């Protein structure tokens, strides 16, 4: 058996990578929007488009992560991505034209793709078969922790020393948070180091079939599977909501509460991010990912309604805290749903594409929300659209869960009770389904 310190080091590395790649490179960029766009003389949406390009580059590179991890020692590639992200961020502090930000945004996004959400979840899934939801929740909660700490810090630096200095500090922090990955030698799976995953009672390496609870070995997988297509749409719509947080500074300025209060709202949102990621991981291990995600979606919908109607500072801060739950589903819930529905064997193949839609949704929302405000002078349209997306996604998640085939073919006509929506342990693309239809889903249900 491995010593517990080995599991702890892997989790520490994953936490640091999440803080660096997501907490800084994604969750903290919003503090620059108003000031930098004004200095460059461009619209807020025009400047926010550099973050869109960055996330699109992250999405494109994330598609290559499973292929790269099978063919190369992945640690050097991951470390290269960290250095590229940090250096490109520092160079942003010397940029004086919007085109430079676009180019540097693409470079930073490409670097982030090598050590962002897809490789982090692959790393945690490979090393933790037991308590997987809790481990993923802990690791990705650090993206919220770094965002909560760094957003007001960077905002203060922008106010006191200017945004150019803030970009230099941000680049240094990207390196600092990822430092454990430089200090401790590791592999994407314990099998590559001759070790076992946590909870692997059979003694099989993570390169072999997984027997962990909540995931089964699926004999086939297809990108044309209706379950997979709906999962991609679910991901795209949900992650489109996350861009709202980066516009909190602009929202509070429109309410005449000041940008500093907007940074405070971002910090409260990141604190909610931390708490709800831990909660959704715990709930996923206890209640399964479907229930956990539905609970967090309901919490986030209520917070959106509070943001739409709130005028007092206390209500807005509370709403911001609970709005952080949007990240719990996007960062933790979606990877857990992917593993739950498609199994550990097909996780890398499925999530590389789903991760692409994660970045695509986040990237598209940033400029769209900015332009909506530029054209209408209000953020209410963005809030209303987010609320509608939650309602659509609730239906989509229900359809995906209901499509799961029961253990016995004869019970198929009784497969739609509500208890199956929330309680069944058979993934959507299970072995029985493949044996009957030859595909990952029974298309007759659609």
- Mean pLDDT per 10-residue interval, the chain, length 446 residues: 70 92 83 86 82 85 83 85 94 91 94 88 84 85 81 86 92 93 82 73 44 47 84 92 80 75 80 88 87 94 89 85 90 88 81 83 76 80 90 92 51 40 45 43 40
Cβ neighbours of 54 (radius 10 Å): 31
* Distances in whole angstroms, Cα of residue 421 to Cα of each of 12, 118, 284, 288: 35, 27, 14, 11
Dist CA 204 CA 364 (whole Å): 41
- In the three-class reduction of DSSP (H, G, I as helix; E, B as strand; rest coil), residue 128 is classed as strand
Given a contact cutoff of 8 angstroms between Cβ atoms, the answer to whether 280 and 137 are in contact is yes
Query: Is the alpha carbon torsion for 205, 207, 208, 214 positive or negative?
Result: positive
Dist CA 33 CA 367 (whole Å): 11
Q: What is the pLDDT of residue 165?
A: 93
Dist CA 138 CA 294 (whole Å): 20
Q: What is the pLDDT of residue 201?
A: 56
Dist CA 32 CA 402 (whole Å): 43
Dist CA 48 CA 29 (whole Å): 9
Q: What is the pLDDT of residue 404?
A: 58
Q: What is the pLDDT of residue 235?
A: 93
Given a contact cutoff of 8 angstroms between Cβ atoms, the answer to whether 122 and 27 are in contact is no
CB-based contacts of 387, cutoff 8 Å, min separation 6: 301, 304, 305, 308
Query: Is the alpha carbon torsion for 118, 267, 49, 388 positive or negative?
Result: positive
Q: What is the pLDDT of residue 259?
A: 66
Structure tokens at 427: 């993934």
Q: What is the pLDDT of residue 293?
A: 94
Query: How does 236-245 read in b/e, with b if 16+ C-beta sit within 10 Å?
Result: bbbbbbbbbb
CATH numeric code, 10-187+220-439: 1.20.1250.20
Q: What is the pLDDT of residue 416?
A: 39
């Amino acid at each position: 058996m491995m010593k517990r310190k080995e599991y702890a080091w892997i989790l520490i590395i994953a936490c640091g990578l999440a803080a660096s790649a997501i907490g800084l490179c994604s969750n903290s960029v919003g503090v620059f929007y108003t000031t930098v766009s004004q200095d460059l003389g461009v619209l807020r949406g025009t400047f926010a488009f550099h973050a869109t390009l960055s996330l699109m580059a992250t999405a494109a590179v994330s598609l290559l992560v499973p292929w790269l991890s099978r063919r190369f020692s992945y640690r050097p590639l991951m470390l290269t991505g960290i250095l590229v992200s940090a250096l490109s961020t520092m160079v942003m502090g010397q940029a004086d034209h919007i085109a430079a930000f676009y180019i540097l945004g693409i470079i930073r996004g490409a670097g982030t793709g090598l050590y962002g959400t897809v490789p982090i979840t692959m790393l945690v899934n490979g090393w933790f078969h037991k308590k997987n939801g809790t481990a993923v929740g802990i690791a990705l909660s650090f993206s919220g922790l770094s965002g909560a700490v760094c957003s007001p810090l960077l905002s203060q630096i922008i106010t006191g020393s200017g945004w150019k200095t803030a970009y230099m500090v941000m680049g240094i922090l990207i390196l600092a948070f990822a430092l454990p990955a430089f200090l401790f030698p590791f592999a994407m799976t314990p099998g590559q180091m001759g070790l076992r995953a946590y909870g692997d009672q059979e003694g099989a390496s993570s390169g072999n079939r997984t027997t962990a609870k909540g995931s089964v070995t699926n004999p086939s997988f297809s990108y044309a599977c209706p379950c997979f297509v709906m999962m991609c749409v679910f991901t795209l719509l949900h992650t489109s909501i996350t861009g709202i947080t980066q516009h909190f500074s602009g929202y509070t300025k429109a309410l005449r509460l000041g940008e500093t209060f907007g940074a405070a709202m971002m910090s409260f949102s990141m604190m909610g991010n931390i708490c709800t990621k831990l909660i959704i991981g715990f709930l996923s291990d206890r209640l399964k990912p479907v229930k956990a995600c539905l609970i967090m979606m309901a919490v986030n919908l209520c917070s959106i309604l509070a943001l739409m109607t709130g005028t007092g500072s206390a209500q807005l801060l509370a709403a911001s805290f609970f709005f952080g739950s949007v990240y719990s589903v996007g960062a933790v819930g979606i990877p857990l749903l992917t593993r739950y529905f498609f199994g550990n064997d097909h996780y890398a193949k499925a999530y590389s594409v789903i991760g692409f839609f994660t970045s695509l949704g986040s990237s598209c929302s940033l400029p769209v929300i900015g332009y909506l405000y530029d054209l209408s002078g209000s953020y209410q349209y963005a809030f209303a659209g987010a609320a509608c997306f939650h309602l659509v996604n609730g239906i989509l998640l229900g359809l995906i869960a209901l499509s799961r085939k029961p253990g016995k073919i004869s019970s198929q006509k009784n497969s739609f009770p509500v208890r199956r929506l929330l309680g069944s342990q058979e993934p959507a693309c299970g072995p029985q389904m493949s044996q009957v239809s030859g595909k990952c889903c029974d298309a007759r249900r659609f």
